[in-house]
Structure 1
Amino acid sequence: MSTPVAPRGKTRLVPAEGRLDAGEFLGAWQELNAAATIPHCVENLETSGVVDNFRRLADGGADGPAGEFRGFWFADSDLYKTLEAIGWEQARSGTRDHTALLDEVAALFEQVQTSEGYLNTYVQGTPGETEFAHPEYAHELYCAGHLMQAAVALHRGSGDERFLTVARRLGDLVVTRFGDDGEPLIDGHPEVETALVELYRETGEPAYLHAAELQIERRGHRWLEPGRFGSLYYQDHLPVRENAEALGHSVRQLYLAAGVTDLYLENGDETLLAAMERLWDSAFRTKLYVTGGHGSRHRDEAYGDPYELPPDRAYAETCASIAAFQWCWRLLLATGRARYAEEMERALLNAIAASTASTGRAFFYSNPLQLRTGHEGSDEDSPSERLPWYACACCPPNLARLLASLGGYAATSDDSGLQLHLLAAGTYEAPGMTVTVLTAYPSDGELTISVRGAGELAIRVPAWTSGASIDAAGSDGEPVPGEYLRVSGVDGETIRLSLPMTPRLVRADDRVDAVRGCVAVLRGPLVYCIEQADLPGGVLVEQIRLDPAAPISVEGDRLRLTGRAAALNTELYSAAGDGEAGEPITFTAIPYHSWANRGPGAMRVWIPTL
């Protein structure tokens, strides 16, 4: 199938064709996405009025639009992301389930797009609004970027030219209006940068690549009105080569970083890569939640200070983890460094996986690492359980497009052979070489890899593993955690890799004040949590203290832990030592990604120790 990024030759790695095994974790999730999440998004595009925003413009006449605009000013992007998901799903499975929607929407785009190429239902259908008058909030180029990415996915997925024609008209408008001699305009929400690069890759038109370059070079000069959250919020505070700290709105920061890295993949400007690696160190070494979440502040959906990572107040927006996954993918293509695949895995199997219900039809927008007993979760800004949809519905269609394209993120190839980054069951193809992976990972660490053809196979050995072993005739040594093990693949060979998955306790740097004296429980790549539903009657999540010296037993995907349940204080404050010894208790931890599937209830990842 087509892959979500296809660099044109400046990088040493290119995506490999990948098909996930539908019977195992990631492949089953991808099937759920196709059967439930994408149709759910399509249904809600109707009920929320997103498609109607296009219809009212197409049906309007001299008196203006036939109805009022519904939703946020960036609502068009919800449709575009869903279209992108459909495009990747067509490439993966050949489905034609959404033909009627595609036909109608293609006709609507043709009717609504202006002769100059402009397309935005909020601006076109709102009295008093004019094109690009409010770039700090109107999201016009942001929406344009998602349309371009949808068009590329539909073109790669089924050869559909209709959307690519619309996207090219819009791209040409960006080129002419904001080119070297045009307005120096940037969007308050980065996204068009990576989309313009992708449009260039699909069409070969260098003007789109140059337009992306101009967007990136113009950012950071405080051109946008700062508003109440300041220039940090819009990623307009420093030029990209000077910004060494992850700051401001986390999704905007990460989308911008993905676009900058995409530009490097095409023009080879080493100053861009150096800047992105410095920024990555800030985001992933000082501001990352153990689950792979990004952004600790609700107020402006932003990164906080270094080590400001409160578990209960974590914003950790789903879209931020998706953006981080996409940025790490681009850095992986650029460098081949295992650390980027490591963080892709962390985010995917924890923060991103937690955002979707087991039904595939309800979602978290923010992903806290603790939910308190008695939490008032009736508002969508901080709900007690996943919701079917949101007023700001960016996350569900973002999840849909990621999952539909997921097979293209697992492996890469170069002149030497194939590199396996995500240890997922499936089949991956590179020129002259195909490998099939059988495994129950991430719940089990045993992998059987069959090789057809010949070439070097590089297998990522996770940094968390200890005592890994391999049975392969062409191995160049023992598995080293956090590195790639290189094997000379021979046609017909079977390679066996064993990754022991002993549960382990992890502590945070002392500068993460909010979890001082606590540990998180991990097994393999999965983060675990305690949920109220698994505690004996009368014991609250907040009472538990873990015995770090006690053994941890594994029961399927659940862990049995030993600790004590301290007595509840009758006063808000009491003398130190009162009731702290507690009663012995054995309790269960479940994978963080599966919490809140049994109804609302308290939960915590970080557990105080005895």
Structure 2
Amino acid sequence: MSTTLPTRPLDPAPARTVVAPVVPSRSRLRPLGLDEVRITGGFWGERQTVNAAHTLSHILGRLESEGWLPNFDRAAAGTLPAGRRGREFSDSEVYKYLEAAAWEIGRHADADLERTFRAVVDRVGAAQEADGYLNTEFGRIGQQPRWSDLEWGHELYCLGHLFQAAVARERTRPGADDRLLVIARRAADLVCDVFGAEGIPSFCGHPEIEAALAELARVTGDERYAAQAALFVARRGHATLADIEWGRRYFQDDVPVRDATALSGHAVRANYLAAGAVDVAVESGDDDLLASLRAQWTRTRGRRTYITGGQGSHHQDEAFGDDWELPSDRAYSETCAGIASVMFAWRLLLSGGDAAYADLIERTLFNVVATSPSADGRSFFYANTLHQRVPGVVPDPDATSPRASSSLRAPWFEVSCCPPNVARTLASLDAYVATADDRGIQIHQYAPAEIRTTLDDGRDVSLHVDTAYPSDGTVRITVDHASDEAWTLSLRVPEWARGAGVRVWSDGSVTEDTAVDAGWAHVTRAFRAGDVVELDLPMAPRVVVPDPRIDAIRGCVAIERGPEVLALESVDLNSGDDVGEVVLDAAALPVEGDGRVWVQIADRTPTAGGWPFGDGPAAPDAEPSRVALVPYHDWGNRGPSTMRVWMPTA
């Protein structure tokens, strides 16, 4: 049983409609779309239910009340700029809402959501100008001219999200008569005219349109869009945009994409650009660019990524730090950066099949994406600190919060990119579960699910997945249809899963029972209906030690269980205690009990005399006591608290 996928060149994708956010024209793995994979429950199914029932309507309500959707009405009526509300990029939140709604309609047909979707598209379309231009912040009397502020204006960024919404709609409802794809193509044609080889030799300060144009080319067959995406990628890194106080690195204009050695600058922008660059490399057959992006991902993951999968350690510019610069209490780790990281890693996974990409996707989904929304789906974290030093303040449910507030989840932000980004990710999450190739099926993320597809040679495959993951580490895959010829079911074994095993059951008997290493476990056979492949992942809590080059957490440890990072929250301590006043008893291993993970802690001895520097490390002054940890994605749900992931040891 091998733990790696066979190395092969990228294959042309078979001619078929795939209902997924990313559908390369050639790839090592073919994504299975929403019509082929359905999450049916469990951890992610519950969050998808909340997303559909509460988050989408919450977002739409705030788009109305904040005035961001009415901006389009004012544009259509010719009354702008009077009354326009929101930041220069507020149009993009409307488009992300449309994308999320499109994916949700693709998951479950909903007549009310369909009517709402069409009504919003009508309002957007009414604001489009005769030549295809569409933006509520620029281009009218009293506003800045079109394309006059490429550093900060976000015009192309906003259009990128429009294109992705149109792609989602066309893939979930091909040929729909709502005209969203027509609106998007008119705008894309204008972009190609204005910014083509003979046009403005520049690009948007906030990458996003690159991946969107590539996907629009894939869904329409118009190669001009792919060529424009490639042109935007090639133009970066040549000091084209005006310099700013944080330097051109902020918007990735300091080093050409193919010459970079790691992601740097604004973390969301860097990941969006990298995702678009992978699309360009794959579509153009640029293997050197693809190799560079893989190397950048490897270094970024290994040196610039938090244990949660979060990225971005600078608050002032929402940016990556240097290698090993990962302070817990200053972790910015923007929710959108986590989502963009998933987008980048997923594209690399499709192109190469390396399980490490899916490992980081899993870590980021459980510890960034799942952390942002509240249990009711109506409030969110924008930033995701790993150490909350001061208890937060319960936000006013009707107020709009500053974007980086991380004390408690807030219902809306002045810069509200994260809520609709979470919504579109959860609505399309089924498409990140599994892939196929000419040998069989690969399962990357574990959730109760139904998987039905046709292999490249025409064979139908049907499976269903039963699991309580991550509460439990057993994943059971039952084959629903017999096969006359052998095919391969490949299961990802996470890097943390030391001691994992695979069993194969047929006719009630175990026919294979094998220990597997991290990477891929392959089961190849002519499956019979009712055959079961069972993956056992060890879920005992484990102590994690940081690389000593990470200065900010040297001498600390973290606790993980399965894919979940755990945290110490002050609400679980004795009354009045703070997470900064305790140390972990390193001699006592974490244990499970009553459905939680428990550790031993002791209070620190206060520094004598009020001077914080002395002859040796502070020692605990009491016998250790037992305290329960909380999954990081659940912290902040029980009122104001302090919290930390990395705990100093006694």
The question of a shared fold, defined as TM-score above 0.5 by the shorter chain, is answered with: yes
Match of 1:247 among 245, 251, 264: 264
Change (3 A) 1:90 1:578: closer
* TM-score, length basis structure 2: 0.90
Q: Could you report, residue by residue, the CA deviation over 1:422-460 in whole angstroms, capped at 9, with x for unpaired residues?
A: 012111223121221100001110111101344211000
Cα offset for 1:540?
A: 2.0
Amino acid at match of 1:521: I
Higher mean displacement: 372-381 or 550-559: 372-381
Q: Could you report, residue by residue, the CA deviation over 1:201-248 in whole angstroms, capped at 9, with x for unpaired residues?
A: 111111111111111111111111122222111111111110112210
Distance, in Å, in 2 between the alignment partners of 1:403 and 1:185 is 33
Alignment correspondent of 1:52: 70
Match of 1:435 among 463, 473, 477: 463
> Are residues 1:465 and 2:505 paired?
no
Higher mean displacement: 470-479 or 148-157: 470-479
Alignment correspondent of 2:338: 321
Amino acid at match of 2:496: W
Change (3 A) 1:44 1:375: closer
Distance, in Å, in 1 between the alignment partners of 2:572 and 2:550 is 28
Cα offset for 1:126?
A: 6.5
SS in 2 for 1:514: helix
* Kept in 1: contact 2:76–2:128 (CA 8 A): no
Gap runs ≥5 in structure 2: 1-17, 396-400, 455-459, 506-510
Deviating above 6 A after TM superposition, structure 1's stretches of 4 or more consecutive aligned residues are: 375-379
Gap runs ≥5 in structure 1: none
Match of 2:167 among 152, 156, 161: 152
Distance, in Å, in 1 between the alignment partners of 2:245 and 2:300 is 24
Matches within 5 A, 1:348-363: 348-363=365-380
Alignment correspondent of 1:86: 101
* Kept in 1: contact 2:393–2:640 (CA 8 A): no
Q: Could you report, residue by residue, the CA deviation over 1:464-515 in whole angstroms, capped at 9, with x for unpaired residues?
A: 1122121116769531113343443603111111112111000111111111
* Kept in 2: contact 1:476–1:486 (CA 8 A): no
* Kept in 1: contact 2:31–2:432 (CA 8 A): no
Identity %: 41
* Kept in 1: contact 2:310–2:368 (CA 8 A): yes
Cα offset for 1:579?
A: 5.6
* Kept in 2: contact 1:196–1:211 (CA 8 A): yes
SS in 1 for 2:450: strand
SS in 2 for 1:478: strand
Distance, in Å, in 1 between the alignment partners of 2:243 and 2:229 is 22
Change (3 A) 1:417 1:483: closer
Change (3 A) 1:534 1:158: same
* Kept in 2: contact 1:16–1:429 (CA 8 A): no
> Are residues 1:27 and 2:45 paired?
yes
> Are residues 1:505 and 2:520 paired?
no
Distance, in Å, in 2 between the alignment partners of 1:477 and 1:487 is 13
Cα offset for 1:69?
A: 1.4
Change (3 A) 1:383 1:469: closer
Q: Could you report, residue by residue, the CA deviation over 1:289-335 in whole angstroms, capped at 9, with x for unpaired residues?
A: 00010000001000001000000110000000000011110000000
Distance, in Å, in 2 between the alignment partners of 1:153 and 1:105 is 15
Match of 1:580 among 597, 601, 620: 620
Cα offset for 1:556?
A: 5.3
Match of 1:388 among 411, 414, 421: 411
* Kept in 2: contact 1:6–1:15 (CA 8 A): no
* Kept in 1: contact 2:585–2:624 (CA 8 A): no
Match of 1:197 among 201, 206, 214: 214
> Are residues 1:303 and 2:330 paired?
no
Cα offset for 1:581?
A: 3.6
Cα offset for 1:66?
A: 7.4
Cα offset for 1:84?
A: 0.1
Distance, in Å, in 2 between the alignment partners of 1:76 and 1:345 is 30
Q: Could you report, residue by residue, the CA deviation over 1:335-365 in whole angstroms, capped at 9, with x for unpaired residues?
A: 0000000000000001111111111110000
Match of 1:207 among 200, 219, 224: 224
Distance, in Å, in 1 between the alignment partners of 2:375 and 2:119 is 31
Alignment correspondent of 2:6: none
Cα offset for 1:375?
A: 6.2
Amino acid at match of 1:537: S
> Are residues 1:606 and 2:606 paired?
no
SS in 1 for 2:254: coil
Amino acid at match of 1:467: G
* Kept in 2: contact 1:427–1:437 (CA 8 A): yes
Alignment correspondent of 1:560: 598
* Kept in 1: contact 2:590–2:598 (CA 8 A): yes
Alignment correspondent of 2:13: none
Amino acid at match of 1:566: R
Change (3 A) 1:495 1:472: same
Q: Could you report, residue by residue, the CA deviation over 1:127-182 in whole angstroms, capped at 9, with x for unpaired residues?
A: 14111111111011100100000011122222324100000001111122212222
> Are residues 1:596 and 2:636 paired?
yes
> Are residues 1:272 and 2:289 paired?
yes
Amino acid at match of 1:4: P
> Are residues 1:67 and 2:87 paired?
no
* Kept in 1: contact 2:606–2:618 (CA 8 A): no
Q: CA RMSD in A?
A: 1.9
Higher mean displacement: 122-131 or 521-530: 122-131
Higher mean displacement: 322-331 or 369-378: 369-378
Higher mean displacement: 7-16 or 150-159: 7-16
* Kept in 1: contact 2:20–2:31 (CA 8 A): no
